[in-house]
Structure 1
Amino acid sequence: MKRIWIIGLLFLAACASDEIKRDRFFLQGNEALNNRDYRSAINYYTKAISIDKDFARAYNNRGVAQIETGHAYEAIQDYNIALGIDPNYQDALFNRAYAYEEVGRLDDALDDVAKVKLQYPDSAYVYFYEGLLQSKLRLYDESQASFLKAAALDPANEEIDINLATLYYFKDQLDSAKQLLMKVLKVNPQQLNALNTLSQVYLKEGDIQNSLITINRAIDLQPADPYLLNNRGQIYLEMGELDKGLEDINKSILQDPENLWAYRNKGIYHLMNGNTTDAIRLLEKAISKRELVDEVHSYLGQAYQLQEDMTKACEQWLIGVEKKESRSVKLYEEHCQ
């Protein structure tokens, strides 16, 4: 009996030692994650997992680091393992929704958010994120309901108001969009996203002068912002100042080569110049399942129309109709019915 008792003590000591090492690696991983040293964070979390295969928090946090290094599928794997260990692990569930969004699996992301919402029915951020996903899926009425619920839970959150205004913009409810944006700008006159969205609302109304004035207010505050430059480029195109427009759009792409809206607008530039080959190439580049780029199919259809290929033109406009593009609806009704 005495010998067994000694072995038991040694075993307990070894377990305690392993737990200390596991926790040390985990804390080092957290520190690296906070310092944005994501590769080191992954390494530390992996070491913690090698000691304890059922360490759900390490899998979750490694997933966060994986996302930051562009490995969304690996992150999903880590979140799946974490949830396999602890099915009620809400952080892993919410993080997996982000990862699903990153790879274009928006329906799966919404499913995860719905599960989180059951546990946190009073979280403004959960409703806000749900609204963002729904807007990407063009579920505009559902998105509006989610944003309104988020706004009721957090009335002072200007980001909720701006995204709700953006949704109104997509739904062509321009007066409602302006009202919300003016409310935000009254409190915070330098809110870049509000200025940017308001400029787009003016442009959609045909008020090009106020659109240009508003976007220039934003650019004065942040001259190198790629989205602001791209949107001013679009305004210049609408004004017929094509060279100025192209200059801003090219600057935008240089600052952010992943800005799909800029490729759309550069496609529009070539369309306006009658260069349909480059227009089609750039407009197709702007199409993505992961990001809502408004009216891209309407312009792509016009490019095919200029090439006298009405079959492809109508195909693109029909896709635009399904994606609730107002220009596509008009063009499809005029040319394809």
Structure 2
Amino acid sequence: MNINTILTVILILLANIIFSCGGQEKEDAADFFLKANVSLTQNNYAEALRLYDEAIAKNADFSDAYLNKGITLLKMNRAEEAYEILTEAITIDPTLVQANLVRAEAGLNIGKINESLEDLAQIEKEYKDSSRFYLIKGDLLSTRGTDQLAIAEYDKAISLDKSNVEAYVNRGALYYRMKSYPAAKSDFEKALALDSSHPQALNNLGLILSKEKDWQRALACFDKVLSTQPDDAYSLNNKGYVLLMTGAMEEGKRLVERALDKQPRNGYAWRNLGIYYTQKKMPAEALKNYLKAIDKAEPVDQLYGLTGQAYLDNKQIDEACKIWNQGVILKDSLAIDLVAKHCR
């Protein structure tokens, strides 16, 4: 069940609220609630939020208004506030299972993984036929690092709804992390068959095509994202990498630097800037950027191999071997090759 479905259920039930609660204040609350729902469906989130607050001011026990306020806050990327409001909704009405589902999603966004899994466990019976339920559970298990369990949940989500784009994208991203590239590629292609402009699917498919050195198709993926989102940091960086690999070094560097302006903690972008300086035969500058990428403490393909090569180019063989050996532990394929070649 997605957020729009939740809203539909609440709207259907609203007639009962209006006629059963009695009193002008509560009728006014229901009126504000209806107007807020319209604003929410029109993506006018600020107005929806104002109207839900009006509804709650008129009826402090209006659990559905708390629920929809939580949904609105989540759509506004205010997940911590959403979590608190949804907790109030559940406190008022513990049977409001929709609030548990949405709170689980808010919890995912703020790192409350165990609490969100508990929310889902409480409502699993009611949501046994919900593709979105299994999507959220898969995301939670993926964040926890239990990859195979997460894959099983994504499988359930897709079996219940073959058009669940996010399930394909998120399962594909997990396959990519597991280095199961053919399975990841298949999922991203299926997602794009359903939504040809999905930015995450395009970016991730472009990364796989880059690994395959299918540069033109990779470039087409990144350009498609940038045609509608010209400041997308991931696509800027990924396109920059393709340009670096295909001889357009200066343009590639310019795009990578733009990506870093938007997203300074992107380890891949710092790595790519290091690649540029390696290509320019400036090993000290390359090394500086590779070390910045390592400092971001996120997995980056071939980073330890490239960093060791920069140390070697800088005539620091001991440091090169040290960083390559760290790369071996992290299963960096380039580091594994270079440590065998250069170090005892």
Q: State the TM-score, normalizing by the size of structure 1.
A: 0.71
Does the 8 Å CA contact 1:165/1:181 hold for their aligned counterparts? yes
Q: State whether structure 2 residue 271 is matched by structure 1 residue 264.
A: no
Equivalence for 1:3:
none
Q: State whether structure 2 residue 129 is matched by structure 1 residue 122.
A: yes
Q: How does 1:13-52 map to 2 (within 5 A)?
A: 16-52=23-59
Distance 1:90 1:302, change over 3 A: farther
Q: State whether structure 2 residue 225 is matched by structure 1 residue 218.
A: no
Q: State whether structure 2 residue 303 is matched by structure 1 residue 295.
A: no
Number of equivalences: 304
Equivalence for 1:202:
209
Distance 1:29 1:98, change over 3 A: same
1:194 offset after TM fit, Å?
4.7
Unaligned segments of structure 1, at least 5 residues? 1-13, 288-292
Equivalence for 1:327:
332
1:61 offset after TM fit, Å?
1.7
Distance 1:105 1:18, change over 3 A: same
1:143 to 147, 150, 155: 150
Equivalence for 1:109:
116
Does the 8 Å CA contact 1:215/1:228 hold for their aligned counterparts? no
Q: Which has the higher contact order (CA 8 A, sep 6+)?
A: 1
Query: Residue type matched to 2:205 in 1?
Result: L
Query: Residue type matched to 2:113 in 1?
Result: L
Identity %: 25
Equivalence for 1:93:
100
1:267 offset after TM fit, Å?
0.8
2:66 to 51, 56, 59: 59
Alignment partners' CA distance in 1, 2:217 and 2:183: 18
Query: Residue type matched to 1:295 in 2?
Result: V
1:40 offset after TM fit, Å?
3.2
Equivalence for 1:245:
252
Does the 8 Å CA contact 1:26/1:45 hold for their aligned counterparts? yes
Spell out, residue by residue over 1:157-196, the C-alpha distance to the aligned partner (whole angstroms, 9 max, x if none).
Answer: 4543343333322222223334455566678877765554
Does the 8 Å CA contact 2:305/2:332 hold for their aligned counterparts? no
Does the 8 Å CA contact 1:25/1:47 hold for their aligned counterparts? yes
Query: Residue type matched to 1:110 in 2?
Result: L
Out of 143-152 and 300-309, give the one that drifted further. Answer: 300-309
Distance 1:115 1:284, change over 3 A: farther
1:56 offset after TM fit, Å?
0.9
1:146 offset after TM fit, Å?
1.3
Alignment partners' CA distance in 2, 1:131 and 1:181: 17
Equivalence for 1:169:
176
Alignment partners' CA distance in 1, 2:198 and 2:69: 34
Over the aligned positions, Cα root-mean-square deviation in angstroms equals: 4.1
Alignment partners' CA distance in 1, 2:252 and 2:199: 20
Q: State the TM-score, normalizing by the size of structure 2.
A: 0.70
Does the 8 Å CA contact 2:237/2:269 hold for their aligned counterparts? no
Unaligned segments of structure 2, at least 5 residues? 1-20, 278-283
Does the 8 Å CA contact 2:210/2:218 hold for their aligned counterparts? no
Spell out, residue by residue over 1:250-296, the C-alpha distance to the aligned partner (whole angstroms, 9 max, x if none).
Answer: 44456xx3586xx22321034333434454446545x5xxxxx6427
Alignment partners' CA distance in 2, 1:188 and 1:171: 24
Q: State whether structure 2 residue 85 is matched by structure 1 residue 78.
A: yes
Spell out, residue by residue over 1:13-61, the C-alpha distance to the aligned partner (whole angstroms, 9 max, x if none).
Answer: x951111121122223223333433333333222322232221111122
Does the 8 Å CA contact 2:134/2:157 hold for their aligned counterparts? yes
Does the 8 Å CA contact 1:161/1:181 hold for their aligned counterparts? yes
Does the 8 Å CA contact 1:45/1:62 hold for their aligned counterparts? yes
1:122 offset after TM fit, Å?
1.8
Q: State whether structure 2 residue 238 is matched by structure 1 residue 231.
A: yes
Distance 1:154 1:42, change over 3 A: closer
